[in-house]
Structure 1
Amino acid sequence: MPERRRVLVVVGPTAGHVYPALALAEAWHALDPATDVRFAGALDGPATRLLGARGFRLDPVSGSQLVNVGVAGKLAAVPRVVAGMAQARRLLRAHGSRLVIGLGGYASGAVLLAGRALGARVTIHEANVVPGVANRLLAPVAHRVYLGFAATAPAFSARKRVLTGHPVRADIAALAGERRAAPDRERPARVLVLSSTRGEAFLAARVPALLRDLERRGLVVEALHQTGEVAPGDVAHAYRRHGVKATVAPYLDEIASAYRWADLVIARSGAGTIAEAAAAGVPSLLVPLGDASGDHQAANAAVVAGAGAGLAVRETEWRDEALAARVVALLDGPAWRTASAAARALAMPDAAARIVADCERLMAGRW
């Protein structure tokens, strides 16, 4: 009888790290419901809440930022990293994990290095076009490097890299098989606005006025706005002040339904949002975070815009009237259909299954 599969997934501090981890757990359980998937990471983000809501727990592993900090910061980080490696070794031994998958975050290094020292297979997933510092440093010890974007390939060894796409949950992946209808003037254009983990003061402040300008150009719109940490009452008031119909909530539980409803997504250009919108076939207006490490969100957005799947605009380049003209043109029927098809062409909705299948090959006879 084959050994039970035991997999440890290391997550980072944002929802963008947790959702692909949940997608991988779904894919493992679809292959074998008895698979024991555990999660590890630092406790300083929403991971504990998001995993707990789905019946999982987060095992704590200490970590600390080693880049973009001064000498004092690096020295202060050393004991936390050492403690994290000790925690990781205890966790790996207790769980019996033979496979470790790193999805980013400060704890990844400690867990992957501990896993390698204990003889486990270790893999990483690079979600962004511009690789993160941690993944660049960990790539030499990883057995596989899974890529979310084809454009990332030159950064990693051809022997280790595998293009898989970015894992999305099954309900979102299922959208890739659904037919979409282009917006028309018989109903309002539907705009989905998504916040990142830390909230979106910029989008909350600027999108209501942008949608007002769409209506001034004769395009009736309605919005569904997820505010994150920004007070939803303030955002709802802004929409009312500009005369735009909007539903505002701090969090959207049925995100697949929201993508199905939307004609346009306005969001930051995190890899997860891009992968989800692509699977849904929804064109996007992407606004990269200006302080994202390595300006990686701008590179992500450039791939989408370059493929014709949406628009990209930096915060410093946002001009309501000029941008409104571009959005109205995008939401025109033929242009929208072209952008929707381009988004679908970027999609790899089976990314989680691809990663699991490759891990099975990597783990042959090793469980």
Structure 2
Amino acid sequence: MDKKCTILIATGGTGGHIYPAIALARKYKQDGNRVIIVGTGNEIEKKIFSSENFEVKYFQSKLKGYSTFKKLFLSFRVDKDVKNFVRKNKPDLILGMGGYASSEVCRAGNKDSCVIIHEQNSVAGRVNRFLLFLKASAAIQGLPGSFSWIDRLFMHFSDDLKFLGNPIRREILNLRKDSYGKDNSNALKVFIMGGSQGARSINQSAPEALAIANQNIKIQIRHDTGEHDYENVRDAYRRLDLEAKVTKFNPNIESEYAWADLFIGRAGAMTVSELSAIGLPSILIPYPHAMDNHQFYNARFLEGKGGAVIINDENLTSELLAAEINALSKDRKTLIKMSESAFDDHFIHATDNIVEFTYEVIKKHKLMTMHQDLRGGGSY
């Protein structure tokens, strides 16, 4: 764009919202725009944003402790401080990255602010679905099929719903390997991730599964447990006499991806997108209590391409996980084929494509607003 813009990026307070926001903010800033990230001020955000040179504004979420439906209702009541902040900064673009915390910022925009939502998951969250037909000028899908045909019936735009992928940080994009596990003589390197809070079922099943699999193949292990299961997992590997690097959480996940031949973990949208961007084969165990079972549908994206195996959480046992590991590692050509199938260049170019698309929508929005003003039209 010729004219530099003021851009607010509203995040939802979790890593799945924060990391794509960072990738986009870096690109917008590189283009000379003023970028302000609006977050909730939780510890995860503060830790991640502290290493980035962005303007950041925090509004503490007032929705803690409420039920899902109460949150949905309250998220459409715009806090006075949020409204004043948005009006003061006069953003050309408000980019909502999903979650209840981002909805207030999106709702606070007036007719001069273009609102675009980005949905990371294969099934759209409830806030983004409401914003789709109440406020948004356009919507971007991080994984295909986020918005159902019913959602599309009610949206007030037609052309500006695109599958452009989830933005991936450059540290991860640089990891793309040509293949995994080419050398049968080397140990199979397995990276297990329980997530920042931990995935109890995975943490409980993985050590025993790897001990069983290790009887047939040589395995090297790295295991990020999350906050809650670190000591139990560490002690389990020691008891089983398995050498493993066990950590609570490694914020530099790119080092683990670069090392691994096989990933085992949940199926969050950004995890699935990162695995696809670098072509890392995986065994995915979707979180069973995710809203609308969206992690299962995220995992289906990779499974359908042949890049992942899905084990449902309720079926997860050490024996089943060991069997899948053995099946994938028996012939390393299987992992190579999975790597090739998992790779999708939508995610390689997602950041640039999303930024260019938003510039087009901003221009279109400004023209529409100008015509409304000339006709004496009001705000929407």
Is the 8 Å Cα contact of residues 224 and 248 (structure 1) preserved in structure 2? yes
Amino acid at match of 2:124: P
Paired with 2:261 and 2:248, the residues of 1 have a C-alpha distance of: 21
Give the deviation of 1:182 after TM superposition: 2.2
Show the counterpart of 1:144. 138
Instruction: Give the total of aligned pairs.
Output: 357
CA gap 1:355/1:267 in 2 versus in 1, 3 angstroms: same
Aligned partner of 1:46 among 44, 47, 59: 44
Give the deviation of 1:153 after TM superposition: 5.2
Paired with 2:16 and 2:71, the residues of 1 have a C-alpha distance of: 26
Give the deviation of 1:288 after TM superposition: 0.9
Show the counterpart of 1:338. 337
Paired with 2:57 and 2:302, the residues of 1 have a C-alpha distance of: 33
CA gap 1:354/1:21 in 2 versus in 1, 3 angstroms: same
When normalised by structure 1's length, the TM-score is: 0.89
Is the 8 Å Cα contact of residues 164 and 346 (structure 2) preserved in structure 1? no
Paired with 1:264 and 1:220, the residues of 2 have a C-alpha distance of: 13
* Structure 2: gaps of 5 or more residues: 153-157, 368-380
CA gap 1:244/1:342 in 2 versus in 1, 3 angstroms: same
- Could you give the per-residue CA deviations for residues 56-105 of structure 1, whole angstroms, max 9, x where no partner exists? 434215453799546xx469x74x753x4322222222333210111111
Paired with 1:44 and 1:54, the residues of 2 have a C-alpha distance of: 16
Paired with 1:27 and 1:118, the residues of 2 have a C-alpha distance of: 25
Is the 8 Å Cα contact of residues 65 and 106 (structure 1) preserved in structure 2? no
Is the 8 Å Cα contact of residues 51 and 58 (structure 1) preserved in structure 2? no
Paired with 1:81 and 1:148, the residues of 2 have a C-alpha distance of: 24
Paired with 1:339 and 1:250, the residues of 2 have a C-alpha distance of: 28
Does structure 1 residue 86 correspond to structure 2 residue 80? yes
Show the counterpart of 1:184. 183
Show the counterpart of 2:375. none
Instruction: Give the match's secondary structure for 1:151.
Output: coil
Amino acid at match of 1:220: K
* Structure 1: gaps of 5 or more residues: none
Paired with 1:159 and 1:327, the residues of 2 have a C-alpha distance of: 44
Paired with 1:146 and 1:66, the residues of 2 have a C-alpha distance of: 30
Instruction: Give the match's secondary structure for 2:286.
Output: coil
Does structure 1 residue 266 correspond to structure 2 residue 259? no
Paired with 2:37 and 2:71, the residues of 1 have a C-alpha distance of: 26
Is the 8 Å Cα contact of residues 171 and 256 (structure 1) preserved in structure 2? yes
- Could you give the per-residue CA deviations for residues 216-261 of structure 1, whole angstroms, max 9, x where no partner exists? 2x11111111222125333222112222221112222432222111
Percent of residue pairs identical: 28
Show the counterpart of 2:163. 163
Could you tell which deviates more after superposition, 265-274 or 248-257? 248-257
Could you tell which deviates more after superposition, 146-155 or 162-171? 146-155
- Could you give the per-residue CA deviations for residues 195-234 of structure 1, whole angstroms, max 9, x where no partner exists? 3232222222111111111112x11111111222125333
Paired with 1:74 and 1:327, the residues of 2 have a C-alpha distance of: 41
Show the counterpart of 2:121. 128
Is the 8 Å Cα contact of residues 63 and 110 (structure 1) preserved in structure 2? no
Does structure 1 residue 306 correspond to structure 2 residue 304? yes
Give the deviation of 1:358 after TM superposition: 0.5
Show the counterpart of 1:105. 99
Amino acid at match of 1:147: Q
Aligned partner of 2:108 among 111, 114, 137: 114
Paired with 2:65 and 2:122, the residues of 1 have a C-alpha distance of: 21
Amino acid at match of 2:120: A
Instruction: Give the match's secondary structure for 1:175.
Output: coil
Paired with 2:346 and 2:223, the residues of 1 have a C-alpha distance of: 24
When normalised by structure 2's length, the TM-score is: 0.86
Amino acid at match of 2:360: R
CA gap 1:341/1:24 in 2 versus in 1, 3 angstroms: same
Instruction: Give the match's secondary structure for 1:152.
Output: coil
Is the 8 Å Cα contact of residues 153 and 161 (structure 1) preserved in structure 2? no
Show the counterpart of 1:212. 211
Give the deviation of 1:5 after TM superposition: 2.1
Paired with 1:239 and 1:106, the residues of 2 have a C-alpha distance of: 39
Give the deviation of 1:181 after TM superposition: 3.9
CA gap 1:348/1:284 in 2 versus in 1, 3 angstroms: same
Paired with 1:135 and 1:255, the residues of 2 have a C-alpha distance of: 28
Show the counterpart of 2:63. 64
Paired with 2:113 and 2:65, the residues of 1 have a C-alpha distance of: 25
Could you tell which deviates more after superposition, 223-232 or 205-214? 223-232
Show the counterpart of 1:17. 17
Give the deviation of 1:336 after TM superposition: 0.7
Aligned partner of 1:250 among 248, 254, 267: 248
